[in-house]
Amino acid sequence: MEKILDKINYPNDLRKLNREQLSQVSKELREELINVVSETGGHLGAGLGVVELTVALHYVFDTPKDKLVWDVGHQCYPHKILTGRKNKIRTLRQGGGISGFTKREESEYDPFGAAHSSTSISSTLGMAVAKKLSNNKNNVIAVIGDGAISAGMAYEAMNNAGALKSKLIVVLNDNDMSISRPVGAMSNYLPKLLSGKIYFSLRETMKMITSAFSKRFRQKAGKAEDILRSIVTGGTLFSELGFYYIGPVDGHDVENLVKIFENVKNSNHEGPILIHTITKKGKGYKPAEESGDKYHGVSKFNVITGEQKKTKSNKPAYTKVFAETLIKHAENDTKIVGITGAMPSGTGLNLFEKKFPDRMFDVGIAEQHAVTFAAGLATEGYKPFAAIYSTFLQRAYDQVVHDVAIQSLPVRFAIDRAGLVGADGPTHAGSFDITYLSTLPNFVVMAASDEAELVRMVNTSVNINNKPSAFRYPRGNGVGIELPSINETLEIGKGRIIKSGKKAAIINFGARLEECRKASEILLKKGINITIVDARFAKPLDEKLIVEISTNHEVVITIEEGSIGGFGSHVMQLLSDRGVFDKGLKFRSMILPDIFIDQDTPEKMYKRAGLDAQAISDKVESTLNSNVVLAKNKIY
């Protein structure tokens, strides 16, 4: 039997259907989503929760002329299936395939890219104002999750929207289930908002009563309705911010959603409107509904049983090594606390929370607050460890500078997902933290070359009590070596020589050390024996070791999993200041290229970046054979 979904390639096809067919379309779309993600892996629970919303929005609104922005973008898989990407959906999150998030370059139906959270209201408000200035009557819609709306940026945008009074439609997807348990006062407030049945029955009664009376009376009754709304809701935050609030409504009743969206679309209301929908993350797939995280992010899985096909490894995950090391320290030091921004399981701090529930703080999707909160704890003698993905810490850079670095407060930053991260692509890559932290005075910046080094860096940071520190480590598993005790620390600003050779030296910063070892083996077969140094610190640099290595070798190459302006730039500045280039040193810096690298396996991404073993060995060999040297800012 042919499915209705088979005939739908674009929203125009969807709009040809009768309303009575939309429930069947939703059912088929949910089945397709489950089958797709079972083959590709990815984000499942969020998409399952917005199937009916997706169908209703595209049925009512004239997308792509009407702009539809998803926040966060991981809930957009059903949207992609309905907007011309159904035949490509099984390439999701793969090299050369489609992104796991909304992406402007991918489709005209993705007017704004969103892989981080809480950006939708700001961006759609900009679109709405632009349309108003252009006398364009098309609609602009933002779909924002209850986790994403917990961030300050969302409220800044709503405050501005209420003042500007541009027509903007915000759909709050309230599933009471962000990536982890929603936190903060707002997460408790949303479920307590006005009861739909009570309020709507009162409002409809008022409408029926007033419809029979004069215009003047109806105007006064309208004011009475506003008073009634305020009394019933207790003065909802959304109303106070200038939004016309509708809800809560059942986010899985597709026919009712269509009616509501049509009313809103055809409304002459000037100003922003918020439609509060109640949905269930993981809806329609029992294993997801029963899972603690509602299958937020999954690997490939068996559709029937829900069992995920996870790759087993005897090597420990970096995230777990960090968490377990921190727990050991916290058992001996009551001043240690853990802080994260809505990512307790992603950062491993869920393990810390089980052991020390009173000393673990998940502040929600609010990295700015997380950093300054940590700074406040540090002023009182506590030892805060802020575990935040590199890509998410970018959003709190002003706080890192102003609230932490300038005051030299001992906040410890555990920077997870350093370097390239695979299927999540460029939005989640940890490409810039070496650069944006190493430029700051008063900072100690470390990078773990393996899991044992990560333990030593956690140990070291515990004892740094007069300035901020950061240690970065990649996603995935370590190399499989024995872990040291929590008593092993590093001397601040001191690197280590891994192996000694002649002529050429590699100074590695971070988790490319194993690739450096492999490159060394490739070169040794060609008769080239190189020195390998593990720098450990980008700030402060081991100046003595770096200058000594650079003086005693013809070629020096720095390697890091970061952008320009990071470790290699600091080394070059040091060698320039010390006059080492005057002696004919051939220096090269291997960094991430000046591009955003699309999703693929980490191995293929690093190959494209030119940071794999073969690229390293080629760089050493070509530099040895080159006549190009730096001297007094001249190239010979």
What distance in Å separates the CA atoms of residue 313 and residue 319, rounded to the nearest whole number? 14
Considering the domain boundaries, does residue 598 fall inside one?
Answer: yes
**3-state SS, residue 528:** coil
Mean pLDDT within 555-562: 98
Q: 314 falls in which pLDDT band (50, 70, 90)?
A: confident
The verdict on 244 and 329 lying in the same domain is no
The verdict on 242 and 109 lying in the same domain is yes
Tokens of 483: 């872990």
**3-state SS, residue 582:** helix
**What angle is formed at CA 177 by the lines to CA 299 and CA 258, rounded to 5 degrees?**
100
**Nearest CA to 590 among 621, 564, 553, 608?**
564
Going from the C-alpha of 509 to that of each of 262, 320, 559, the distances in angstroms are: 57, 21, 6
pLDDT at 573: 98
Contact predicate 549/533, CB 8 Å: yes
Q: Assign residue 503 a region: left if phi > 0, alpha if psi is -120 to 50, beta otherwise? A: left
**Nearest CA to 426 among 594, 277, 304, 259?**
594
Mean pLDDT within 402-427: 96
Contact predicate 272/158, CB 8 Å: yes
Considering the domain boundaries, does residue 132 fall inside one?
Answer: yes
Q: 629 falls in which pLDDT band (50, 70, 90)?
A: low
Q: pLDDT tens, 6-40?
A: 999 999 999 999 999 999 999 999 999 999 999 99
The verdict on 500 and 462 lying in the same domain is no
Asked if the model's pLDDT at residue 178 lies above 90, the reply is no
Token look-up 């009074």 returns 165
**Nearest CA to 186 among 155, 160, 218, 231?**
155
Mean pLDDT within 564-590: 97
Enzyme catalytic residues: 281, 367, 395
Considering the domain boundaries, does residue 41 fall inside one?
Answer: yes
Q: pLDDT tens, 37-72?
A: 999 998 998 899 999 999 999 999 999 999 999 998
Considering the domain boundaries, does residue 482 fall inside one?
Answer: no
The verdict on 340 and 263 lying in the same domain is no
pLDDT top residue among 181 and 606: 606
**DSSP output for 353-405:** HHH-GGGEEE--S-HHHHHHHHHHHHHTT-EEEEEEEHHHHGGGHHHIIIIII
The verdict on 408 and 352 lying in the same domain is yes
Asked if the model's pLDDT at residue 634 lies above 80, the reply is no
Mean pLDDT within 140-164: 92
Q: 500 falls in which pLDDT band (50, 70, 90)?
A: very high
The verdict on 512 and 464 lying in the same domain is no
pLDDT at 193: 43
Going from the C-alpha of 388 to that of each of 188, 368, 410, 598, the distances in angstroms are: 24, 11, 16, 22
Mean pLDDT within 553-571: 98
Q: Give a three-class secondary structure readout of 258-302.
A: HHHHHHHHHCCCCCCEEEEEECCCCCCCHHHHHCCCCCCEECCEC
What distance in Å separates the CA atoms of residue 406 and residue 235, rounded to the nearest whole number? 41
Asked if the model's pLDDT at residue 159 lies above 50, the reply is yes
Going from the C-alpha of 173 to that of each of 29, 41, 50, 252, 338, the distances in angstroms are: 18, 23, 8, 11, 29
pLDDT at 240: 87
**DSSP output for 478-502:** ----PPPPTT----TT--EEEE--S
The verdict on 200 and 325 lying in the same domain is no
pLDDT at 198: 35
Considering the domain boundaries, does residue 488 fall inside one?
Answer: no
**What angle is formed at CA 424 by the lines to CA 419 and CA 427, rounded to 5 degrees?**
70
The verdict on 101 and 202 lying in the same domain is no
Q: 194 falls in which pLDDT band (50, 70, 90)?
A: very low
The verdict on 187 and 326 lying in the same domain is no
Q: 166 falls in which pLDDT band (50, 70, 90)?
A: confident
Q: pLDDT tens, 438-491?
A: 999 999 999 999 999 999 999 999 999 999 999 999 999 999 999 999 999 999
What CATH number is attached to the domain comprising 510? 3.40.50.920
The verdict on 187 and 144 lying in the same domain is yes
pLDDT at 95: 94
Domain range for 465 is 318-472
Q: What percent of the chain has pLDDT over 90?
A: 77
The verdict on 436 and 502 lying in the same domain is no
Considering the domain boundaries, does residue 350 fall inside one?
Answer: yes
What's the number of domains the chain is made of? 4
What CATH number is attached to the domain comprising 254? 3.40.50.970
Considering the domain boundaries, does residue 500 fall inside one?
Answer: yes
Q: Hey, which residues does 71 pair with through a beta bridge?
A: 144
Going from the C-alpha of 458 to that of each of 55, 150, 291, 451, 565, the distances in angstroms are: 48, 30, 32, 11, 25
What distance in Å separates the CA atoms of residue 10 and residue 533, rounded to the nearest whole number? 55
Considering the domain boundaries, does residue 484 fall inside one?
Answer: no
pLDDT at 295: 76
**DSSP output for 390-452:** HHHHGGGHHHIIIIIITTT---EEEEES-B--STT-GGG-B-SHHHHHHTSTT-EEEE-SSHH
The verdict on 79 and 179 lying in the same domain is yes
Examine the fold and report which residue of 211, 231, 251 is the final residue of a domain before the chain moves on.
231
Examine the fold and report which residue of 472, 507, 534 is the final residue of a domain before the chain moves on.
472
Tokens of 150: 């917990």
Average model confidence (pLDDT) across the chain: 89
Q: pLDDT tens, 359-411?
A: 999 999 999 999 999 999 999 999 999 999 999 999 999 999 999 999 999 99
